[in-house]
Structure 1
Amino acid sequence: MIRHLAGAVALALVIATPAFAQNQKVRVGVEGNYPPFSSIAPDGKLQGFDIDIANAICAEMKADCTLVQQEWDGMIPALNAKKFDMIVASMTITDERKKAVDFSDPYYDVPSRFIAKEGAFKDHSPASLKGKKIIVLRNSPRAKFIAENYKDSEVLLADKETNVYLELAAGRGDVALGSAVVSGEAFLKKPEGKGYAQLGPSIRIGAGSGVGIALRKDDAELRQKVNAALKAIRANGTYKKLADKYFDFDVSEGI
């Protein structure tokens, strides 16, 4: 009787153990349209800081990872529908998102910048942008920031960060708000960014929260392993080596 009970308990433990612990297969949701964090190389492969971080974490966890490309708006629903097991896609940690998912410790933080035609505005204050159309990424902390602080401005919501700048270049808005890094790499350094410039100083939206890896709320074991892996790659120099490939400043500042 005791032997049967012990066997039943052992079987229950096996059943209750997450699949990750059994075979170390992890599917990672990524975007592919947010350079230099995530983009598609000419050979069709995913590249960027997010991609490198995802691969480094997987290597540290000794996990067999598969990258799954997903449109930004569907990231959290796809995670909770178990299309993948975690999101490494420059997702800012916010209280609103914490209602739907859990987050790892932050792995970077980058300020935001307004972009406009050179000399078009003296600053990016609500008074200066009154009546103007501001372009910003939909379902983002920046969109919330604009809605709360620029009530006398119009808003155009773009479905992708890179489309924020395409809309600006097409003349569909007066000013854009985006990542200080992405706006430079994906727009200002490109031919279509000629005549545009960053407007005013950088701003930190939700300073201190940073960008984290999103995981399902019932996957505490994977979150613990991801946090341990993040600490390890910071300690062994891997993180700095990867960051130095893309940035000339410390993207971990403020986290």
Structure 2
Amino acid sequence: MNKFLKSIGVFLVIIFSISSVSAATLTERLKDGHKLRLGFGTAVPWAYAGDNGEALGFVNMIALTVLEEMGITEHETKVFEWSGLIPGINANRSDMVTGGMYILKSRCENMNFSDPIGVFGDAMLVPKGNPKGINNYADVIRTGAKLVTGAGFNTVEAAKKYGVPDSQMMLVEGEVGILAAMKAGRADVAVQTFFGAKEHEAKTGGKFEVTDPKLMPKETLNVVGIGFRKTDVEFRDNFNKALAKVMANPATMLKRAGEYGYDKAQLPPPSMSTEWACSTK
């Protein structure tokens, strides 16, 4: 009987310890010596892993610059499918989402965002010469074209908002899936971020081209933030304080992020705040 009670006691201690670790905030975990885990998908040039698993892409460069301002110089990388980024951070498999997520009302319900790190637009990727004349969602509907985009991308909501029927939409896993669908001829047009589309244009040697983002609906302009768990408010607030310092003197950040195409044109205006995006996007 005593052995049984002892076993139960040990079991409860283990369960309590696991629960305590999972319940700890990011600030507490870092104080205990844990490395911060950056979570992102493969979305060139936004965020992706190098040959040795290192964090690359302009969103990661901005995040790392801010973390260094906070005195945090060590981290680990965790690569997810795009649709797994928010579930991953909420399951405690990462600590920050640096994948380049637009701040949207639906995402704000499941994750906290930092202040914006940039403002961006979407574009269409079409075959060279744009034979169907597709520049926006209205053109997709008009031509009956098959539109491909990434599962979990903001473009899924946008396409539906502007009337693209499910029968004309194809959802795939991330940027890799988008390019594969276009190259195989399973889709006539892709919609993604302007940077993502430009990367695919470059990769295919001119087989595809990118449409002018200004021909897309103006409402598709979005701001990007770094994602945090709802329980990590203290860390998010401290991150925002450091981010404000970096944005006030962005030379170092622009140099690092500029290697991936980010420049001062992407710096977010004060009017496009996280609160604004969470309530209107």
Match of 1:197 among 209, 212, 219: 209
Larger deviation: 37-46 or 87-96?
37-46
Q: How many residues align?
A: 238
Return the alpha-carbon distance in structure 1 between the equivalents of residues 131 and 176 of structure 2: 22
3-state secondary structure, aligned to 1:29:
strand
Deviation digits for residues 200-252 of structure 1 (CA, Å, limit 9, x no counterpart): 44435553x51111111121110111101211222232222223222264222
Deviation digits for residues 78-135 of structure 1 (CA, Å, limit 9, x no counterpart): 1111122221110111100111111110111221101111231224344532321000
Q: Residue in 1 aligned with 2:154?
A: 141
Question: Structure 1 residue 37: deviation in Å?
Answer: 1.8
Matches within 5 A, 1:15-164: 18-20=27-29, 22-23=31-32, 25-63=34-72, 64-117=74-127, 118-130=129-141, 131-152=144-165, 154-164=168-178
* Contact kept in structure 2, 1:142 and 1:205, CA below 8 Å: no
Runs (5+) with no aligned partner, structure 2: 1-22, 273-281
CA RMSD in angstroms, aligned pairs only: 2.5
Question: Structure 1 residue 151: deviation in Å?
Answer: 2.8
Task: Give identity over the alignment, percent.
Answer: 25
Larger deviation: 130-139 or 42-51?
42-51
TM-score, structure 2 length as denominator?
Answer: 0.75
**One-letter identity of the residue aligned with 2:159:** I
Change in CA separation of 1:201 and 1:52 when aligned onto 2, cut-off 3 Å? closer
Bigger proportion of residues as helix:
2
Q: Residue in 1 aligned with 2:11?
A: none
**One-letter identity of the residue aligned with 1:50:** V
Larger deviation: 162-171 or 57-66?
57-66
Return the alpha-carbon distance in structure 1 between the equivalents of residues 184 and 110 of structure 2: 35
Question: Structure 1 residue 53: deviation in Å?
Answer: 2.0
* Contact kept in structure 2, 1:123 and 1:200, CA below 8 Å: no
Return the alpha-carbon distance in structure 2 between the equivalents of residues 211 and 248 of structure 1: 12
3-state secondary structure, aligned to 1:232:
helix
Matches within 5 A, 1:181-220: 181-185=195-199, 187-190=200-203, 192-202=204-214, 203=216, 205-207=219-221, 209-220=222-233
